[in-house]
Amino acid sequence: MPDPRFFEDLGPVPLGELAAASGAELADARAVGRMIRGVAVLAHAGPDCITFVADRKHAGDLAGLRAGACFLPAALADQAPEGCVALAVANPQGAYALAAQRLHRPRPSGPSPVASDARLEAGVVLGPGAVVGPGAQIGRGTRIGANTVIGPGVAIGRDCEIAPNVTIGFALIGDRVRILAGATIGEPGFGATAGPKGLIDIPQLGRVIIQDGVSIGANTTIDRGAFDDTVIGENTKIDNLVQIAHNVRVGRNCVMAAHTGISGSVLIGDGAQFGGRAGVADHVTIGAGARVGAAAGVMKDIPAGETWGGMPARPIRHWLKETAWLARMASRRGGGEA
């Protein structure tokens, strides 16, 4: 279920209403009146939640499913466990997205610059034009720059430095965190799927968790999770103009140079390093202590401790040998033609 500090629950809603909105067919017509309180991914779905399975490769996960209902392809509808109502639909993820939009919405900001129920400890300094949303918490000694916006429910630890024109929402931030000007934390990640009338956005119902001692550069963007959280580990240092997508988990003491781009659901081990303009495809794992060269394009997992470079990225020795060979061949051909 989404964190109530950041999202309002609009349920419960009858299962029949969710089926009608998504074009799904209820496997058990008697369940039309069953009340659903929220959406959740497979691992966290309880009896009052609805979830989805979009691919046959995840069919084995249905055995231990505790959800009250599940959107499924028609071919898997008979595999829903007892107590879980199957809803057969062509695009389960799209149906789930529509259900999420009906059941949850982000909490609105308050009408005043500093909400009456915001909690600011002693020594907090707010710059001119700073906005602090309802239910937000800011720890002792933290400084908030001019025109920075702290969204509803956000928690910021002690002795943090938040520069001007920063936007923070849907986030839990530790102590001694430094965020430079123009950074955006907690915006919805990029995700769309097919709906009954065309493309629809997939609701991003997770959070951003930033641990103690993290530094985040100017104009860097860290998206909140789509289903789980986006996490930045303790003492990690992130340069300017870096993009970190939803559901990414970055370990402790990592370094990312400017223009690094990390796609969704990437796992990064402790101590990993990224050169400038490095890019990582989605669902890739970067092992602890791995190093990614500048401008590298990572398309598959990198084992712990290895250094990779190139596009597509590969072990640095292989890449350098290939680059040297190509240079020699180009030189020979050029000399022969001359």
Strand order in the sheet with 261-262: 131-132, 149-150, 167-168, 184-185, 221-222, 243-244, 261-262, 279-280, 297-298
190-221 as b/e: b if 16+ CB within 10 A: ebebebeeeebebbbbbbbbbbbbbbbbbbbb
Nearest to 185 by CA among 147, 155, 214, 223: 223
Half-sphere exposure of 2 (CA within 13 A, CB side): 29
Contacts of 113 (CB under 8 A, 6+ apart): 129, 130, 131, 132
Distance CA 63, CA 182 (A): 46
User: What SS3 state is found at 319?
Assistant: helix
- Consecutive H or E run containing 97: helix 92-103
Give yes or no for a contact between 32 and 19, defined as CB atoms under 8 angstroms apart: yes
Nearest to 323 by CA among 302, 300, 293: 293
Cα angle for residues 296, 223, 285 (degrees, 5° grid)? 40
* Residue 246 annotated in active site: yes
Q: Looking at 44, 58, 104, 246, which residue is catalytic? A: 246
Strand ranges inside 45-122, DSSP E: 49-52, 69-72, 85-88, 104-106, 119-120
By the 10 Å C-beta count (0-12 exposed, 13-18 middle, 19+ buried), 64 is classed as exposed
- Residue matched to tokens 């907690």: 186
Query: Distance from CA of residue 50 to its chain's centroid?
Result: 20
DSSP 304: T
Q: Which residues participate in catalysis according to the annotation?
A: 246
